[in-house]
């Protein structure tokens, strides 16, 4: 019977894609997946350092795995991802039983590291070189379903004052367009019908051979035969161009969804963050995007309580949300990240104030999200069906082109198909619908 591996993935879609590579490497060594770490021979924690809470979860999880290691000393424990990169020394100090510590740019060392750890349980390996070029040719065990992730860039050059990503994932590197197209063709041949192109800032993509930018890449990927839907994340406002928006509008596979982080509504806060745009510029981008791409869903990221944020400045964030009316928002409190410029900034906002501001913003956005979806009741949406709904197995679930969840009643054998569905009721989370027989 083959030995088993377990992967716990935290954080963003890039970590999800990295975990597919980790799984592919482990399977190439003859291991098979399990959802129970207690029976695993190899357990990998793929970590996130963007915010403080996931970082705390890392050491809590490692504490649980320490008990497994004491019971089964042969267990191989690995830590990958952003926490491995920025806190390798602390991991070694607080969790000396960890066998492998690999930064996100160093997964090429995983195979040899696991092989050594399996043969020598006292062998500890730590590779955290943020400047190493990622190896795109490792095996990947992709998550089953209709959608696949494909990296287009690695790392980030923006160095926003609050963000640890450039330190955790290194400086920005773009993949050759030919390699990206080959990977998209590969996943489509495997049966995936939707692809999401991933990068910390896809707008700054440049083909290292031709110099072509992201709009050209979007068009080229959208032309891949058999690809039904194309998404990308994330877009930085300072680099979001009219040419990109027109490429979206002119590429039938490109979905009508733009994730455009705003982070704050006050220009003074945006300047301290180092974001490189004003609220007026951001608002003009959203207006232009909605004009060029009809039916566009706009989602965002926002942070409250950045150092020095006053009540009046926070209220401008509330006003921005009321004015723009996002379809959805990922909302967070500021937390210090080690090594970032904001960590040393004075005038830290007290925790109770941050919590209160977050609650007020969440309440406003929830009201807006419900209203936006309720206003679309009666509309017919194209839904890419993922499978049966977990809470209502008699119904199907899938996503609209605007990336909204649709749970609906319909015919048989709908999984993996495009189905026209009429939204009957709109909720904060999406829609309840019925398959539209007239479409």
Which domain CATH number covers 49? 3.40.50.12160
Tokens (6 digits) for 67: 């008990």
Does residue 355 lie in a domain region?
A: yes
Mean pLDDT of the chain: 95
The residue from 63, 92, 127 where one domain ends is: 127
The answer to whether the predicted template modeling score (pTM) of the entire model surpasses 0.85 is yes
- For residues 107 and 208, membership in a common domain is answered with no
- For residues 221 and 339, membership in a common domain is answered with yes
CA atoms within 13 A on the CB side of 184: 30
Does residue 141 lie in a domain region?
A: no
Whether 63 contacts 28, CB under 8 Å: no
Number of domains in the chain: 3
- DSSP H or E segment with residue 42: strand 42-47
Tokens (6 digits) for 93: 């100090």
Fill in the DSSP letter of residue 303.
Answer: E
Does residue 311 lie in a domain region?
A: yes
- For residues 195 and 248, membership in a common domain is answered with yes
| 394 pLDDT more than 60 | yes
CATH number of residue 429's parent domain: 2.40.50
Per DSSP, the three-state class of 176 is coil
Does residue 390 lie in a domain region?
A: yes
**pLDDT at residue 438, rounded to an integer:** 57
Residue 371 CB neighbours (<10 A) = 12
The end-to-end CA distance of the chain, in Å, is: 51
Does residue 135 lie in a domain region?
A: no
pLDDT tens track for 279-301? 999 999 999 999 999 999 999 99
Tokens (6 digits) for 49: 């350092």
pLDDT tens track for 405-427? 999 998 899 999 999 999 999 99
- For residues 250 and 104, membership in a common domain is answered with no
Fill in the DSSP letter of residue 37.
Answer: G
- For residues 152 and 122, membership in a common domain is answered with no
The residue from 95, 127, 159 where one domain ends is: 127
| 51 pLDDT more than 90 | no
**pLDDT at residue 52, rounded to an integer:** 83
- For residues 12 and 35, membership in a common domain is answered with yes
Mean pLDDT of 338-351: 96
Please give the Cα distance from 93 to 59 (Å, whole number). Answer: 11
32 pairs with which residues across the strands?
A: 4
pLDDT tens track for 91-134? 999 999 999 999 999 999 999 999 999 987 566 788 888 888 88
Per DSSP, the three-state class of 7 is strand
- For residues 236 and 354, membership in a common domain is answered with yes
| 304 pLDDT more than 80 | yes
Candidates 394, 224, 239, 379; CA nearest to 295 is: 379
Instruction: Map tokens 């367009």 to a residue.
Output: 177
- For residues 276 and 339, membership in a common domain is answered with yes
Candidates 232, 167, 158; CA nearest to 195 is: 232
| 439 pLDDT more than 70 | no
Domain range spanning residue 415? 380-435
- For residues 336 and 293, membership in a common domain is answered with yes
- DSSP H or E segment with residue 237: none
Longest distance between any two alpha carbons in the chain, whole Å: 66
Whether 74 contacts 43, CB under 8 Å: no
Tokens (6 digits) for 377: 């009741």
5 pairs with which residues across the strands?
A: 33, 42
Per DSSP, the three-state class of 356 is helix
Does residue 242 lie in a domain region?
A: yes
DSSP labels for 319-346?
HHHHHH--SEEEEEE----TTSGGGG-S
CATH number of residue 256's parent domain: 3.80.30.20
Does residue 133 lie in a domain region?
A: no
Q: Give every CB contact of residue 418 below 8 A, 6+ residues apart in sequence.
A: 228, 382, 383, 384, 385
- DSSP H or E segment with residue 288: helix 279-292
Does residue 140 lie in a domain region?
A: no
pLDDT tens track for 168-211? 999 999 999 999 999 999 999 999 999 999 999 999 999 999 99
Mean pLDDT of 381-391: 96
- For residues 268 and 411, membership in a common domain is answered with no
**pLDDT at residue 120, rounded to an integer:** 77
The residue from 61, 93, 127 where one domain ends is: 127
- For residues 116 and 43, membership in a common domain is answered with yes
Q: Give every CB contact of residue 343 below 8 A, 6+ residues apart in sequence.
A: 336, 337
- For residues 346 and 229, membership in a common domain is answered with yes
User: Strand pairing of 328-333 and 380-388?
Assistant: unpaired
């Amino acid at each position: 019977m083959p030995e088993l591996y377990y992967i716990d993935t935290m954080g963003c879609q890039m970590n999800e894609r990295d975990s597919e590579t980790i799984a592919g490497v482990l399977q190439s060594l003859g291991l098979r997946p399990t959802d129970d770490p207690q029976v695993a021979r190899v357990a990998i924690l793929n970590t996130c350092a963007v915010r403080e809470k996931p970082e705390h979860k890392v050491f809590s999880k490692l504490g649980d795995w320490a008990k497994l290691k004491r019971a089964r000393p042969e267990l191989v424990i690995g830590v990958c991802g952003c926490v491995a990169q920025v806190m390798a020394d602390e991991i070694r100090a607080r969790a000396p039983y960890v066998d492998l510590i690999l930064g996100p740019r160093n997964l090429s060392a995983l195979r040899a590291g696991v092989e050594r750890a399996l043969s020598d349980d006292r062998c500890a390996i730590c590779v955290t070189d943020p400047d190493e070029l990622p190896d795109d040719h490792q095996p990947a065990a992709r998550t089953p379903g209709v959608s696949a992730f494909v990296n287009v860039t690695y790392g980030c050059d923006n160095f926003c004052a609050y963000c640890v990503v450039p330190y955790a994932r290194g400086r920005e590197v773009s993949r050759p367009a030919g390699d990206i197209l080959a990977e998209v063709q590969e996943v489509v041949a495997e049966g995936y019908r939707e692809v999401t192109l991933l990068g910390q800032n896809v707008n700054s993509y440049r083909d290292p051979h031709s110099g072509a930018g992201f709009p050209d890449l979007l068009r080229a990927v959208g032309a891949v035969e058999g690809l039904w839907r194309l998404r990308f994340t994330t877009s930085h406002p300072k680099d979001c161009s009219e040419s990109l928006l027109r490429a979206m509008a002119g590429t039938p596979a490109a979905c009508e969804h733009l994730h455009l982080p705003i982070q704050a509504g006050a220009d003074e806060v945006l300047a301290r963050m180092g974001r490189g745009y004003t609220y007026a510029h951001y608002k003009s981008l959203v207006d232009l995007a909605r004009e060029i791409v009809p039916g566009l869903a706009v989602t965002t990221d926002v942070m409250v309580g950045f150092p020095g944020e006053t009540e009046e400045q926070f209220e401008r964030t509330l006003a921005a949300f009321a004015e723009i009316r996002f379809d959805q928002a990922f909302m967070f409190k500021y937390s210090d990240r080690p090594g970032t410029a904001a960590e040393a900034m004075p005038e830290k906002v007290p925790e109770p104030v941050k919590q209160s501001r977050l609650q007020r913003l969440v309440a406003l956005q929830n009201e807006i999200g419900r209203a936006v979806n309720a206003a679309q009741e009666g509309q017919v949406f194209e839904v890419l069906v993922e499978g049966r709904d977990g809470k209502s197995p008699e119904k199907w679930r899938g996503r609209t082109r605007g990336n909204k969840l649709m749970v609906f009643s319909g015919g048989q054998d709908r999984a993996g198909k495009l189905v026209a569905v009429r939204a009957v009721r709109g909720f904060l989370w999406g829609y309840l619908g019925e398959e539209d027989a007239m479409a």
